Structure 1
Amino acid sequence: MKGSFFVCVFMVFLHQGFADENEEANGNGVVKIGVVLAMGSLVGRASNMCISIALQDFYRDNPNFTSRLHLSTRDSGGDVVQAASAALDLIKNVEVQAIIGPQTSAEAQFLSDLANKSQIPVISFSATSPSLSSTHTPYFIRAIPSDSIQAKPIASLIKFYKWRQAIVVYEDTDYGAGFIPYLTDALSEIGSRLQHRTLLPSVASDELIRKELYKVMTMQTRVFVVHMSYPLASRFFRQVKQLGMMSRDYAWIITDGLTNLLNSMDPWTIDSMRGVLGVRAYIEGTQRLDKFSTRWKRYYRKEYPNEIDIPHFNVFCLRAYDATRVLALAVEKSGGRSVGFLRPTAGQMTANSTDLLTLGISPVGPRLLSAILDTKLKGLTGTIRFVNGEIQGSTFQIVNVVDKSVREIGFWSPEAGISREISRKVVHRRSNDVENLGPVIWPGESTVTPKGWVFPTNGVKMKIGVPVKKGFKEFVNVEWGPLDGRPTTTGFSVDVFHAVVKGLPYGLDYEFVPFADDHRKKAGTYNELVYQVFLGKYDAVVGDVTIIANRSNYVDLTPPYTESGVSMIVPVRKERGSRALTFLKPLTWELWVTASCFFFFMAFVVWFLEHRINDDFQGPPSEQVGRALYFSFSTLVFAQRDKITSNLTRFVIILWLFLLLILTNSYTANLASILTVEQLQPTVTDVQTLIRNEDIVGYQGNSFVEDLLIKLGISRSKLIEFDSAEEYVEALSKGSSHGGVAAIFDEIPYIKSFLSNRTNDFMMVGPTYRTGGFGFVSSLSLSLSLSLSPSVCVCVCVCVCGGGAST
């Protein structure tokens, strides 16, 4: 009996204990909150501890609050299906009012739909993919800035170091793929681009990683942007180091997600990332953050007493701390209580209803969601305020992995761009100033900024076709070596091409291939040479190739680098008139008439103003007329001595003397020119004269000028082609009636080259028929590389201006 009594008493106390626990869990002041994290991961384990610390701190600071959060934690195992199952359990069986987590963007994608259906807020502190949007899933709240915000800081960093191309390596998940469009747009805004995208599965093997790395090693770009989760990144960078890609000439930039975990990574991973640059959202160091660090170490030591090294807390831990405090405050503001979900009625369910169809709806969800979005507080990461369901971030920190530590080298903000100090004013910002960032230790322990490119290691050179010419070798000249027979290409066009390539921010490995036959003669016309690019025999053509419309139908042509147009060269005839009357030549009959009228007019004006008040202009009419004319004509040689009494007359005379000064000086200069320079006149001035006289006309062989002359109305039988300047001289000297030509049509660059030392015998006359000028021919893939950027245009202008006199 006595034993039975104690058993009964024990059962009563046990029952009472369960009742008290049940009452606490379902009490009016207790709100059930779910937590879904990957407990086996670095971020999940640390964040779970920060959530617990946050609740302790919150209710210690607010002891009078009537609500209390009761956490129900589930392990997602880093798996989307397991995370979804955990969320279903929390919503259907536990009836939580909100969920903190999940950890990854892929998990959040599914949980946000569940939250929408059940109307319970899901607040995530680590899902950063831009594809997650509160616009479509309003019950999803992001307590961390989206990855889209960091695209501009990365692009600014690439612009700062003058890199024009980059390769992005990213994870084949929502987290990885969602960031790429924003990075592409940001690079496009600064004039850069992604040369290649390397996609790696989250469970990629080391063999697959090496295969992809071997592929990008053959490319010329050496700037890499890495955007992936920590487990994949740790294996990726170890392979990078093993393959020798963490060396000079390489530049590696990691995104916010990886940069925030640098302080928590193991020493082997950090060692393989030495020289890497990283960007991360800036969190200001405060006294409150220092106190949290002390508490974190004490808490971690208590939870894991057997571990020797205490890891540094990461930013996701801080975000989890702030998100928990936001949720606790919102629950208090909304008067949250544990209220049963509204379940679908039996009539709404069918025999085939699934768990998703039988989910209930939280009656307090909309009110709690509104309270969360309206909450504003000062957290460990800064001011917490939601805009469109997301925390807005603006300032980023730029760091450099040095040895086994992380060193801050600068900041980025929308207002100031890249700067050394966070407080640096906008007016002091200089985008290309090296002092804007601290010194960087690049991969390979180098202090020299990588160029961002090297020549490709796949051994493939671009084939650049060049014309083989008999004449006008100032532009393109191909010569074969006497011993080895190897061609050497020189000339103005080649020099311009070298200047363009030198001005590019990356390298082009190329070789010139003459367009010649087996006998080293020209293999065809310029049109045929250009067409070889379309056929794929050449990657580009460099030379004196004119930009015309029909060629642009099948190839791309760069902007011109010479003056454009077609004109004609004709001989000159020298004219020398009689020396006796040379002084009359500057005085045309129009000038005689105009000057005479002015002389008589001035005589009348002076007489009209003076004859009433000046005795010198009075007397008989004939004497007055003579005096006035004498006064007017004597001013021509400044010999007048008559007395003037009217101030108005003096003003008129000053104007007249100034006009006479201009007239006499102009006459003197014109007469000197006539006396010292022989007058050269063209033999032909226009095309119509050539057609009317049925003269023979020449043009440069293999040129489009032949078709132009036929369109102008010149018969094909009257056309003769020439190949060199010497042939031009011989044909023009003979003339059309003696087996030569009356004129030769050619492009202006050739004409200027021809006339550079023959100005006394020939001249360029007639109208100019506009063309596109000389340009380079390329395929579509190469046209972007050869497009003349502003810096390259300067190089070309210098080359053209400097070389124009010699060619």
Structure 2
Amino acid sequence: MTAEHGSKLFSAAKNVGMMKEGYAWIVTEGLSTLLDPVDAKAKDSMGGVLGVRPLVLEFENFTRRWKSYSYAGKERTSSESPLTLFGLWAYDTVWALAMAVEKAGLTNSNSFQSQNVANNTELDFANIVWYETGPRLRDEILATNFTGVSGNVSLINGQLEPSEIEIFNVVGHTEKIIGKWSSNKLTLKEELKPPIWPGDTTERPTKMRIGVPVRKSFNEFLRVESPSPKCIEYSRENISGFAIDVFQEVHRFLPFNLSYEFCPFAKRNGDSNGTYDQLVMQIEEKNFDAVVGDVTIVANRTKYVDFTLPYSESGVSMVVRMKQDKRNNMWIFLKPLSWDMWLTTFAAFIFTGVVIWLLEHRTNPEFGGSPQQQVGIIFWFSFSTLVFAHKEKIVNNWSRLVLIVWVFVVLIITQSYTASLASMLTVQRLQPAFMDIKEIQRNNYSVGYQTGSFVEKLLTEQLGFSESKLKSYQTPQEFHEALSNGSVAAIFDEIPYLIVFLKNHGSKYHMVGPVYKTGGFGFAFPLNSPLVSDFSKAILKVIENETFQDRIQKKYFSTSEIIFDDGSASVSSDSSSLTVHSFGGLFIVTLAASLISLIFYVFKFLHSQWPALKEIHSDQGSLWVAFTEMVKRFDRKDSFARASRSNSRVFPEANPNPATDEASVNVDDTADNESTTLNQQSDVATLNEHNQMDSGINHSVPDERHSS
């Protein structure tokens, strides 16, 4: 800006306190008091200003010539026409154009063509259409190279060559040159004289004032040693934590050097000076240039500051205490299996017993007897396999197949039951005291939150908790005490803090309920700050860098990634019970084996009895009579049962004359094997007795005799 506007600017800056220690001002040649003098009042306000301007060669000689130059007999003075850099540039430009015209050989204006050249004798420059020697003049202008009063006048690619620049410092009412710079040589830092900054100090005021929160808990995120309101230089001894390490790593990826110092948001006694919302407001009040820490990005704070991209995920959930499950302790032996598993297993026992009875009833005397005895055999045999205590012999190969598969299933079920019951008896079973927020609100219980957190507003404005039911706590130990003594039903906080809390008290508490998403942790800057973009890009580079995961995150959280549980998973009180689904494959196998064996056995029986049943159906003309007769025949002992036990021919199916049948049996036994043992004779007697009982069932139906 011009000297006139510059004078007003610095006067206003001094009035609002921006020309004191801690501020820095850099001006260009337009506000150089040497080339464009300002009034004394403005110069008093510019103490400590740094500036850059082109180096003016032979400035004093030109000034004397300019003062002595007369126009129309009147001497011009510097007060009437003050020298400015723009004036010097204009002076050199006129000389450059004049030299180009002479070199191009342009001595008259006949080469100019104008729209009204025929009507006017004077040349109208505003209506010039073309200039036939213009290209030659342009070439001469571009080739201009001479030393003017403003420096070397030389055009490179149509641009004025950068001249040597001098760096000045306003001290009092004078400008002191503290260094020079040219495109060919950059003055070294040690060759520059130390400037005097506003406030008459040599202390460099270029450090950003970064506010950091002061907390007494969760030092994994941020820790300030002996906090005080005074800003401090960074060192691992006085300030540390996850947020600080992330900032240091981000600072390393910035494309420029940035000096800063940390300013704890603390009182003189070292306590925190307010909430995180109040800390963020310090940026708008110009007390801090930025805020670094575990500051969560929430919508309300974006009204006053701009946040970078988040460097860590976050969200709000609740932690509740775990209580011991004391329900049904005297019936704990039922807990290893769910109710559907108990019912399915019972049904499988009965089904297997029935299948074995069907396969063995006609061939094995041990599965005979009265109906009550046969029902008892079904239950006894099936359930005795549970402890492998069955004593009945199996003679049918299909029965052996079914029993092999079933014993395998029983073995797995019993072993799983034993293991599950042992776990329940030896490991203390815990479950959350509350599973959702509505249960807490319905019982009108109190809840806790971390002091100074935005979670307080979330509980009252979004979740509908009364302020009288809210209690604030500062440390994880206070969380533990409040939950253990029942002062609160749950603690609401951001998930990163809850993860740290559960790390030390994980066996006593559990994180449950829904997760209320937030923007995560970020760095805060003033609204529309250009640093937000640079820091956000650097954060992306840090997050994608393996160093961030391996070194920083593992250092504080013992994990390669900060991936927080969304809290959607809940603990079920029946989670340890074994269900039908766990053994579905086993039940399918034993069901298939039983059905296949039963189908083959029934098919064989029907095939052997089909001629007799067909004859009965033709005589009686009734399917029901034929079906009834089939059931009766199935209930009778199979004739090859005797053969399987004595390796002789098969007994007949039934005999209406028990005496004749008994005599025939005795004759056959004597003829076939005179050395029959007493045990075999007992079996024959038992079978004859059964045949005598069968003979009175239906004497009108002829018996079909078979021979082996």
- TM-score normalised by structure 2 residue count: 0.45
- TM-score normalised by structure 1 residue count: 0.40
Larger Rg: 2
